Amino acid sequence: MSGSSCSRRWLVQAAAPFLAAFANLNAAAKAQPGSVPPAARQALAPTGRLRAALIVSNPVLVRRDVATGNLGGVSVELATALAEHLGMPLEPVPYANPARYAESLSREIAWDVGFAARDPARGEFVDFSPNFMEVDNVFLVPAGSRLTQLSEVDQPGVRVAVPQGSAPDLFLTRTLRNAEVVRVPGGADQAAEVLSSGRADAYGENAHLLHNVLGRIPAGARMLDGRFNVVQMAIAVPKGRDPTALEFLTQFVAQLKRDGTVARAIEAAGLRGVHVASD
């Protein structure tokens, strides 16, 4: 892949059902393909293309340009950097929401790397790189809610909505003892609908997405102070891959954090409640 332009961007074209084409995205200080151990390259991209799973309903990971449908954001930038590091073309594998991504884990996985949350339930099917990003998870409650603090959420009669199959769903399913978990498709529209309709008393999600939901529901809605969880984002690889894949990703993620690539991607996406993962 040519290195003639240091300011190029991969533009992932959204066409039926998701992507039709994609072009080059800004690549920072890419390594020469020869610097990657052959065993790692084969383990990470056995088809000769890096197939990267992307959850397109989560704006912390993927941003869709309203006018063009193009996809960008942190996971697209990091996937592009990884593909260039390996000296291979990138093949995005988009999933409409976390539930569709979770379904891909329970059968033969059709991707090589997945950019999503680390979670024990997913760990049955994949192995994880070190974390590249941390995301605050909070509760949003509608106007007039009797809930005023985190400690009041887990009680009988409280309905907590979550995106099905998401990190908040997996975490709250394990930890809530009294409240009812209401699972809905991911995305801001679904969050706004379930709160506006009264089908849920609170919505648990990342703080960035919920800031966007605030403008879609009646005035007076608010986010409860504090975080109920901090989600750790990592690069997943299907179990059974050669261990050199994870060894390489460990060094790769450390480099992206060290050289500021992750921080720049977070800033470019305008994310709130999102931080570069600590070492």
pLDDT score recorded for residue 20: 37
The pair phi, psi for residue 141, each rounded to 5°, is -120, 150
pLDDT score recorded for residue 35: 80
Q: What angle do CA 226, 187, 20 make, to 5 degrees?
A: 135
**DSSP per-residue letters across 215-261:** TTS-TT-EEPSS-SEEEEEEEEEETTS-THHHHHHHHHHHHHHHTTH
Q: How far apart are CA 40 and CA 45, in angstroms?
A: 8
pLDDT score recorded for residue 68: 87
**DSSP per-residue letters across 18-80:** SEEEE--B---SPPPGGGS-HHHHHHH-TTSSEEEEEETT-TTT-EE-TTT--EESHHHHHHH
The pair phi, psi for residue 48, each rounded to 5°, is 90, 0
pLDDT score recorded for residue 33: 43
Is residue 70 within 8 Å of 14, Cβ to Cβ? Answer: yes
Is residue 163 within 8 Å of 102, Cβ to Cβ? Answer: no
Name the residue among 211, 220, 72, 70 with its Cα closest to residue 135: 211
Name the residue among 15, 77, 44, 90 with its Cα closest to residue 243: 44
pLDDT score recorded for residue 79: 98
Is residue 25 within 8 Å of 11, Cβ to Cβ? Answer: yes
pLDDT score recorded for residue 111: 97
Residue-wise pLDDT tens for the chain (279 aa)? 444 333 333 333 333 333 333 333 333 334 444 488 999 999 999 999 999 999 999 999 999 887 888 889 999 999 999 999 999 999 999 999 999 999 999 888 999 999 999 999 999 999 999 999 999 999 999 999 999 999 999 999 999 999 999 999 999 999 999 999 999 999 999 999 999 999 999 999 999 999 999 999 999 999 999 999 999 999 999 999 999 999 999 999 999 999 999 999 999 999 999 999 997
pLDDT score recorded for residue 165: 94
H or E element, residue 196: helix 188-196
DSSP 211: H
pLDDT score recorded for residue 57: 92
Q: How far apart are CA 79 and CA 58, in angstroms?
A: 16
pLDDT score recorded for residue 50: 98
Name the residue among 141, 130, 138, 92 with its Cα closest to residue 255: 130
Question: Helix (H, G, I), strand (E, B), or coil: what is residue 125?
Answer: coil
pLDDT score recorded for residue 66: 79
For the entire predicted model, the pTM comes to 0.82
Crossing angle of the two packed helices 207-214 and 188-196, in degrees rounded to 10: 60
User: What is the set of domains in the chain, with CATH numbers?
Assistant: 12-133+232-276 (3.40.190.10), 136-229 (3.40.190.10)
- In this structure, which amino acid lies at residue 262? V
